[in-house]
Chains A and B, each alone.
Chain A
Amino acid sequence: MARSNEVNLNECKMVVPLNTWVLISNFKLAYNLLRRPDGTFNRHLAEFLDRKVPANATPVDGVFSFDVLIDRGTSLLTRIYRPVTAEEPLPDVAELEKPVTAEVVPVIIFFHGGSFAHSSANSAIYDTLCRRLVGLCKAVVVSVNYRRAPENRYPCAYDDGWTALKWVNSRPWLQSRKDSKVHIYLAGDSSGGNIVHHVALRAIESGIDVLGNILLNPMFGGEERTESEHNLDGKYFVTLRDRDWYWRAYLPEGEDRDHHACNPFGPNGRSVEGIKFPKSLVVVAGLDLIQDWQLAYVEGLKKAGQEVKLLYMEQATIGFYLLPNNNHFHAVMDEISRFVGSDC
């Protein structure tokens, strides 16, 4: 048993840079401490361990941020990232919500990952990622601090995403000059990617325009055990066991993984055929054990006649987009930039 463990760990170390390996292994270690076999979660320890950063209204590398409470009832916070403009290199402290000035300003609503249980909008790794997206896409980024499982199960995360979408859509200061509308994109990684899909569905039902969905290693699953789950279980930081734990923590009690939240195009799924679903950019890491579900999602969109671009990064593991030290990272960032830029 120990011997095959060794082999796994060695393989894993060969495909990622050492600092990435240390970062993700450290998360894995910490997360193992937090998940209890009885399905409860050591939230205090999780918050203690999570490395967070404050918002910063002083621009750093051309980006400043501030936090806004958008729903008092649920304590829903969002962190807003804005680029400084040539005319106003330092934001006026009284008007952090000053109207955007460009003809077209994409507004990316971002949902951080963490398998529905971990991380926050102010986690250091996600603060970094959001700042990067601002420069990359010349966008305003709104990172949503959605409620997490197991304390808050389905549909809380989606409800919070929906609240954020409505809020963003109704901000006059986020409207692009060109058409006085807010140009909204939804983006997220892991559980955040899952939230993107479901919030987009709600948007369509309510007539709010979403211009595009960006799903980075989105978290999907199902009852069936797929080939990739079998082949990659435990090999690259992630185990099937932990995936199952997170779904049990998020889905309503008694539901299985064919619930439509987990398996959107499965037996209980909702078809997106014939509706005005946003174009999607889906990034799949070739060493992610749930890739079969992610690929099935892409297929599901295609079959429904929806526009979708798949980026399959063969040698990438989960979390490759957290550190800018590998080719997958740069390739994906370029694609995201093109995806969002194509409306200007």
Chain B
Amino acid sequence: MPLYDSASSSAGSCSGSSSSSKPPPPPLPLQQDIDGLLAVAGYKIRSSELQQVAQRIERLETAMGNSPADFSQLASDAILYNPSDLAAWVDSLLSEFVQPPTCSSEFIPGPVNNGSTTAESHTPPVQQNITYEQRTLDNQLTVVTATEEDSGIRLVHMLMTCAECVQRGDFSLASSLINDMQGLLARVNTVCGIGKVAGHFIDALSRRIFRGIGGGSVGGGGYAFESEILYHHFYEACPYLKFAHFTANQAILEAFDGHDCVHVVDFNLMHGLQWPALIQALALRPGGPPLLRLTGIGPPSPDGRDSLREIGLRLAEWARSVNVRFAFRGVAASRLEDVKPWMLQVNPKEAVAVNSIMQLHRLLGPDPVRNSPIETVLNWIKDLNPKILTVVEQEANHNQPSFLDRFTEALYYYSTMFDSLEACRVQPEKALAEIYIQKEIGNVVSCEGSARVERHEPLAKWRRRLSGAGFRPSPLGSNAFKQASMLLTLFSAEGYSVEESEGCLTLGWHSRPLIAASAWQAVAEAGSSAACVG
């Protein structure tokens, strides 16, 4: 059993080193005549377009030669998108620099609003047909080893062996390994890295072995009041959720530009932490705020309270204080797939934004069946004809069929995440955030079937899934990138990094992305009644 998930799209490995003096083997046959060498360097461009793009670069260079100092200034103000799409990128620079830019205004913490005309010309040509398989993106497993103690390495080895036993069904060996590991844990550096998180994995494995995969109360199915508290502390202790909210709000704000009636559908309201900032940004936009409706989805409150409504009231007060006309509606549902579009009461005249922060993966059921929950939900989202669909997901491959593969991936993912949490010095935020993460680990490792809801998939898979469901990417630009980076320096320690990946943004710890944010628009179908107006 190979240790790594050999997903069908991977290039497959060839062992043995390549010979020195021969040129390397030709790259994978790529769709639509993409230049293979430039693709490896991170740029997608068709060979047939090279000449044209070269000419446009020359034009740019000549224009730059005439007024060089202006360019770096303009670069600071302009919003640039998707540098991998070389042809579109050069075109956007040409339209930005060779034609006079429209005036831009900057809000804090809002986005740079360049006016709709320039924004439109920035949108890269719809090239979603080019599905270049970046083979290094699948099967990524970046390891940041912070401790080199032999015991730490031994512990990892034992965890892997134990997981392998569990996969094989050898529970007696597995349980004796659990005992050994608990002993070893006492001697390992548990301050950071693998040592820290090993304990949680030992617990999760132990639960799987001794209690079976029904999982007890580890996050299966519904949410609980305590989940909200833990979520809030996770929000405070590290930047992942702030980044998610911030980036999604940026995209929503831009999508709502020019619309007077807007409606945000939030797939998981929690304490509504994302929305005060958006409300404020809308209040400050030139031309004044729109009428904002927010529909918040969340679990029914266990004790008869209407917690959704309470949050809604608080947000309404905030909106009132900044003069934004605001209406709130709560939709209580135990599972996202129980929500039906009519419950959202979307008005055809309003601009809709659908916001999903770490919710879509919960719809990936155990069996890839037709009309699986994810398909159903993506279809009705599309039918709403939203101006934007914002998606934030954990950047991990925790939904692989093989338990051992999932376990391995989770071990490295969560140890990196725990490592990043070390930067937080505030208690009890940090401790509660750790419990939040622990529950996720528990679900990934010790649950199965419908109880396992933490079915994280990497960005590459979400891209394919969303494109297949009739959405096209709406690239997040350099302004979102810059402001996300600035947010990091304000709130967090060194070591976090924001990266741009073909129009999406990821936040990670050192070089390992841990959370990915992307934005999408429904592709209008010919003759569809859902064609958008204005």
* A-to-B contact residues, CB < 8 Å: 1-2, 5-6, 9, 13, 18-19, 21-23, 25-26, 28-30, 32-37, 42, 44-45, 47-49, 51-63, 66-69, 72, 75, 77, 79, 83-84, 86, 89-90, 92-97, 122, 124-125, 128, 132, 134-138, 145, 322-325, 330, 333-334, 337
Whether a CB of chain A sits under 8 angstroms from the CB of B130 is no
List of A residues within 8 angstroms of B511 by Cβ: 52, 54-55, 67, 77, 79, 122, 145
| B residues less than 8 Å from A86 (CB atoms) | 15-16
From B131-139, B327-335, B367-375, B466-474, the one touching the partner chain is B131-139
**Is B30 an interface position by the 8 A CB rule?**
no
B17–A135 touching, CB < 8 Å: yes
Q: Choose among A23, A83, A137, A324 the residue that contacts B38 (Cβ–Cβ < 8 A).
A: A23
Q: Which residues of B contact A30 (CB under 8 A)?
A: 83
Cβ-defined contact, A25 with B54, below 8 A: yes
Chain B 170-183, CB-CB to A under 8 Å as 1, else 0, gives 00000000000000
Chain A, residue nearest B39 (CB)? A124
A90 and B4 contact, Cβ closer than 8 Å, known pairs A26-B57, A67-B143: yes
Interface residues of B in 82-126 (CB under 8 A from A): 83-84, 86, 90, 93
Of the residues A48, A56, A137, contact of B141 by C-beta under 8 Å: A56
A18-B50, A44-B486, A47-B481 known; A59 vs B13 contact (CB < 8 Å): yes
Q: Which residues of A contact B69 (CB under 8 A)?
A: 37
Within 8 A of A (CB), among B454-484: 478, 481-482
Also in contact, A32 and B72, with CB within 8 A (given A67-B512, A93-B408, A94-B160): yes
Please determine whether A54 and B137 come into contact, CB atoms closer than 8 angstroms: yes
CB-CB under 8 A from A54, the residues of chain B are 136-137, 140, 142, 511-513
Across the A-B interface, the 8 shortest Cβ-Cβ residue pairs = A51-B42, A89-B15, A33-B75, A44-B482, A135-B18, A124-B42, A57-B141, A59-B13
Contact A333 B20 (CB under 8 A): yes
* Chain B positions within 8 Å of A135 at CB level: 17-20
Query: What are 21 A-B interface contacts by the 8 Å CB criterion?
Result: A9-B58, A23-B41, A26-B86, A26-B90, A28-B61, A29-B57, A47-B499, A49-B83, A59-B15, A60-B136, A67-B143, A67-B510, A75-B494, A75-B510, A84-B16, A90-B3, A128-B41, A136-B20, A330-B23, A333-B20, A334-B21
Cβ-defined contact, B481 with A134, below 8 A = no
Residue of B nearest to A57 (CB): B141
Tell yes or no: B53 within 8 A of A by CB: yes
How many pairs, one residue from A and one from B, have CB atoms within 8 Å of each other in the complex? 238
Q: Determine the distance from Cα of A128 to Cα of B134 in the docked complex, in whole angstroms.
A: 13
A275–B90 alpha-carbon span in the complex (Å): 51
Known contacts A18-B51, A67-B143, A135-B17; A52/B42 CB under 8 A: yes
CB pair B3 A29 closer than 8 Å: no
- Give A90 to B53 CA distance when docked, in angstroms: 41
In the bound complex, how far is the Cα of B135 from the Cα of A59, in angstroms?
11
User: Which B residues are in CB contact (< 8 Å) with A325?
Assistant: 37
Contacts of B23 in A (CB 8 A): 324, 330
B379 cross-chain contacts in A, Cβ below 8 A: none
Task: Establish whether residues A19 and B35, one from each chain, have CB atoms under 8 Å apart when the complex forms.
Answer: yes
Say yes or no for B76: interface residue by CB 8 A criterion: yes
For residue A298, give the distance in angstroms from its CB to the closest CB of chain B: 24
Give B contacts to A, CB under 8 Å. Answer: 2-4, 10-11, 13-21, 23-25, 35, 37-38, 40-43, 45, 47, 50-51, 53-54, 57-58, 60-62, 64-66, 68-69, 71-73, 75-76, 80, 83-84, 86, 90, 93, 134-137, 139-146, 148, 153, 156-157, 160, 408, 412, 478, 481-482, 485-486, 494-495, 497-500, 510-513
**Extra contacts besides A2-B62, A62-B15 (5): CB < 8 Å:** A33-B75, A42-B75, A44-B486, A333-B21, A337-B20
* Measured CA separation A240–B37 after assembly (Å): 29
User: In the complex, are the beta carbons of A22 and B57 less than 8 A apart?
Assistant: yes
Contact among A48, A69, A93, A330 with B500 in the assembled complex (CB-CB below 8 Å): A48
Evaluate contact between A67 and B144: CB separation under 8 angstroms. yes
The complex places the Cα of A122 from the Cα of B137 at a distance, in Å, of 13
Neighbouring A residues of B38 by C-beta, 8 Å: 19, 22-23
CB A257 to nearest CB in B, in angstroms, measures 21
Given A22-B57, A93-B408, do A323 and B145 touch, yes or no (CB 8 Å)? no
A62 contacts B57, C-beta separation under 8 Å: no
Decide: A58 and B13 in contact? CB cutoff 8 A.
yes
On whether the beta carbons of B15 and A51 are closer than 8 Å, the reply is no
Q: Which residues of A contact B11 (CB under 8 A)?
A: 60
Cα–Cα distance between A170 and B13 once the two chains are bound (Å): 31
Shortest C-beta distance, A24 to chain B (Å), equals: 10
The minimal Cβ–Cβ distance linking A78 to chain B, given in whole angstroms, is 10
Q: A60-B136, A136-B20 are in contact. Are A90 and B13 (CB under 8 A)?
A: yes
Scoring A26, A58, A136, A334 by chain B CB atoms within 10 A of each residue's CB, the highest score goes to A58
**A68–B13 CB distance below 8 A:** no
| CA gap between A18 and B156 in the complex, in Å | 49
The verdict on A52 contacting B64 (CB below 8 Å), with A93-B3, A135-B18 known, is no
Given contacts A19-B50, A323-B37, A337-B21, contact A47 B498 (CB under 8 A): yes
The reply to whether A44 and B160 form a contact with Cβ atoms under 8 Å apart is no
Closest to A59 in B: B13
A69 contact set on B, CB distance < 8 A: 144-146, 510
